[in-house]
Amino acid sequence: MWEKVQETVSYITEKTGFTPRYGVILGSGLGSFTEDIEIEHTLPYSEIPNFPTSTVEGHKGALIFGKIGGNNVVAMQGRFHYYEGYSMTEVTFPVRVMKFLGVEKLIVSNASGGVNPFYKVGDIVYIYDHINLMPEHPLRGKNDERFGPRFVNMGEPYSRKMIAKAKEIAVNMGVDVKDGIYLGLQGPTFETLSEYRMVKVLGADCVGMSTVPEVIVARHMNMEVFGISVITDIGSEDAIEEISHDEVLLAAQSAEPKVRGIIKELIIKY
């Protein structure tokens, strides 16, 4: 994998001559963040050697390179999910590549289902911890010390300093944000009511099908991580509503301007 990562990094560096410092992974319905970037290069995944290609509706599939307030950024427009059939190595490959392109800080966004009774649809949650219940671990197998250590400390997967700065930003913007624990499941089914209850009993505030693998791999390589989630539906017996992917996208899009603003300011001010 080391060689593949280096090959991809060399290709991108030759093509763009660009050294990003911030990496952004855009979740469902949050892709328009790229409008905040003064774009210098766009590389469709299909053109990047060793990159998987994106299949999910609402995910476009390109690496976007450019500046936000003078800071060099690379954004993944569309991510790879385990439920699509990719291996965990494929799901997290772009994060490896970002690291060796020069990314030190990774911002990850997603849509999730809320199980915390104080959450409502459209809420913005800063992820301060996660529970990994994905069926495969992205670091399973022989460890390559060039990436990071065998046993990764997960005491602070999400940077407390970045959360504190992002809270300041939200206050200044007049945007209400919450803190929460994200639980990662494989999907692609949304949870049964009993599964939502399980998520809550296990101590999480929201549940989704992404993020956890990318964050683990980022921490393996000692990147600083910030995670932000939009609550797109509520998983509880009292709120039985049909959830569909379209509704998830709609709810995420309604919170998108605020999420965009927070991420942009965080890149400028942190």
Q: How far is the CB of 181 from ligand HPA (least distance, A)?
A: 14
Burial class (CB in 10 A: 0-12, 13-18, 19+), 133: middle
Q: In whole angstroms, what is the distance from residue 181 CA to residue 184 CA?
A: 10
Residue nearest to ligand HPA (CB): 113
When the beta carbons of 58 and 208 are compared against ligand HPA, the nearer one is 208
Which amino acid would we find at residue 67?
A: K
Q: How far is the CB of 78 from ligand HPA (least distance, A)?
A: 15
When the beta carbons of 31 and 148 are compared against ligand HPA, the nearer one is 31
When the beta carbons of 78 and 235 are compared against ligand HPA, the nearer one is 235
When the beta carbons of 36 and 205 are compared against ligand HPA, the nearer one is 205
Q: In whole angstroms, what is the distance from residue 72 CA to residue 8 CA?
A: 19
Other Cβ atoms within 10 Å of 19 Cβ, number: 12
Partners of 65 in the β-ladder: 41, 74
When the beta carbons of 65 and 196 are compared against ligand HPA, the nearer one is 196
When the beta carbons of 83 and 128 are compared against ligand HPA, the nearer one is 83
DSSP strand E in the chain: where?
Answer: 22-26, 38-44, 62-68, 71-77, 105-114, 124-132, 177-184, 206-208, 224-234
Q: How far is the CB of 28 from ligand HPA (least distance, A)?
A: 7
**Interaction site with ligand HPA (CB under 6 A):** 111-113, 190-191, 207-209, 232-233, 235, 243, 248
Q: How far is the CB of 243 from ligand HPA (least distance, A)?
A: 6
Closest CA to 228 of 125, 150, 98, 131: 125
Q: How far is the CB of 228 from ligand HPA (least distance, A)?
A: 14
Closest CA to 205 of 179, 227, 228: 179
Q: How far is the CB of 205 from ligand HPA (least distance, A)?
A: 12
